[in-house]
Amino acid sequence: MANRAEFTSATRRIIAERAGYQCSVLNCGRLTVGPGTDPRQTVHTGVAAHIYSAAKDGPRGTGGLSDAERREPENGIWCCAAHGRSIDADDGRVFPAVQLRAWKRLHEARKAAEVNGGAIHHVGLVESIAVHSAPAAGLEGRTFELGMRNIFTGPNASGKSILTRLIASVAHPDHVADMSRDRDVDMGVRWFDPMTHDVATAGRGGIVTHVLDGRPVPYVARPYKTILLNGQHRTKIGNLTSLAQMFDLNIAAMSSVLALAADQGGVIKDVQREGMRMRWTVDVDGRIESFDNYEAINGSLQTLILLELAGLHARHHARAEPTFLLLDEFLDFHNAGVQVEALQRLQAAAEHAQVAIVSHSPVLLAEAPCDWAVTELAPQPQNHRDNPLAYDIATKPPDA
């Protein structure tokens, strides 16, 4: 039809084959190809559905994509016939684009693992977080659907930093314990590994309780992995112990990550150590330079080093269990070139790990690819009794 960004038959085949001819909707997986009644026939029941609409006024809109971009395989998700109809019902509001993109990426990751003989039961994602009460009014009463790539933005005191810590709190309940000393915390997280899990977490006066899949538990054993970085972590690259603590690794594992990073062809070219002290050899605008003292490395380069390590760690860990890399205003104080370079490196490095960036940088918002879901938080009411700034990370511009 005219004025519609329809898939070609070749594109539909690519979408179907990348999905293994199974429905990509979470917890469905229905096979959509099989034998027909005649021995020489096959039956196909699947649908290549548009994530962003084929028509400009269709379900979920165009997402700012051109007609040509909406015809690409990246904008299609393979579904069974039933889900192919339902995802466009109610103008697409039941199945938002961020959710469909996450499901497509997750399903294709599982199919890739199957093809390569990997363990598909380790592939998963954090689907949503519901915040019922927290020390940030802009979060309360909201459910946040999480994609594979996320940006949380909003003014100061809107609760961006708190949201990252709530996401991390399933594995690190001390975040909720700290917050609940000033304000009751009630939240719920749903994740998939590949079974769906729901955990309700409550914090009262520093005491944290969990209800996992309807059953009270003292803590959540082996939930998803979170890696949380903020601006203060740039001071950690001079010491191996500090690096290991930041990434929640032992010394031996952190040393292996550093050795592997030097072989990736990125910023890090070599890492030597004297005791726990680090000596870095890095790529500085095409020049290979060595630094005995991390303080001689400028702030922008320190950030790229940490991002390279975080991406490598997250990519590796995502092959074992769902992994979420959280960057709290980690890039905002750098110049536009560094921000764009860091975003591009992170997009490739994190692979099947989820990523969320807290940012109020217009550069990041403008340069983020369309598969990054942007969530905007409202400012804190002036008369609200809680002060989320108590939980914000103090940041300052790095050295040029």
Residue 153's pLDDT is what?
92
Per the CB < 8 A criterion, the answer to whether 227 and 326 are in contact is: yes
Q: What is the DSSP letter of 22?
A: B
Contact 194, 110 (CB under 8 A): yes
Q: Which two tokens stand for residue 368?
A: 């983020």
In angstroms, the CA 224 to CA 220 distance is: 10
What is the end-to-end Cα distance of the chain in Å, rounded?
A: 54
Q: Domain boundaries in the chain?
A: 9-115, 122-400
Give the position of tokens 């630094």: 291
Strand order in the sheet with 323-328: 225-230, 323-328, 354-358, 149-153, 372-376
Amino acid symbol at 119: A
Contact between 336 and 371 (Cβ < 8 Å): no
Contact 347, 369 (CB under 8 A): yes
3-state DSSP call for residue 125?
Answer: strand
Q: Which two tokens stand for residue 137?
A: 């009014």
Determine the Cα–Cα distance for residues 357 and 327; give it in Å rounded to an integer. 5
- Please give the radius of gyration of the chain, using alpha carbons only, rounded to the nearest integer: 22
What distance in Å separates the CA atoms of residue 333 and residue 344, rounded to the nearest whole number? Answer: 17
- Tell me the C-alpha distance between 98 and 146, whole Å: 7
Contact 59, 91 (CB under 8 A): yes
Beta strand pairing call for 372-376 and 185-192? unpaired
3-state secondary structure of 374: strand
The amino acid sitting at 291 is: F
Tally helices (H) and strands (E) across the chain. Answer: 11, 18
How far apart (Å, rounded) are the C-alpha atoms in residues 11 and 85? 19
> Per residue in 71-96, pLDDT tens?
999 999 999 999 999 999 888 888 98
Query: How far apart are alpha carbons 306 and 304 in whole angstroms?
Result: 5
How many whole angstroms from its chain centre is CA 160? 15
Per-residue pLDDT of the chain (400 residues; tens, 9 = 90+): 457 999 999 999 999 999 999 999 988 899 999 999 999 999 999 999 999 999 988 999 998 899 999 999 999 999 999 999 999 988 888 898 888 988 898 888 788 878 876 655 566 789 899 999 999 988 999 999 898 889 999 888 889 999 999 999 999 999 999 999 999 999 999 998 877 899 999 999 999 999 999 999 999 998 899 999 986 655 678 889 999 998 999 999 999 999 999 888 789 999 998 889 999 999 998 899 999 888 888 888 888 899 999 999 998 888 778 899 999 988 887 888 888 888 888 887 887 789 999 988 888 888 887 778 889 997 766 554 444 434 443 333 334 3
Domain 122-400: CATH superfamily, name plus number = P-loop containing nucleotide triphosphate hydrolases (3.40.50.300)
Average pLDDT, rounded, for the chain: 87
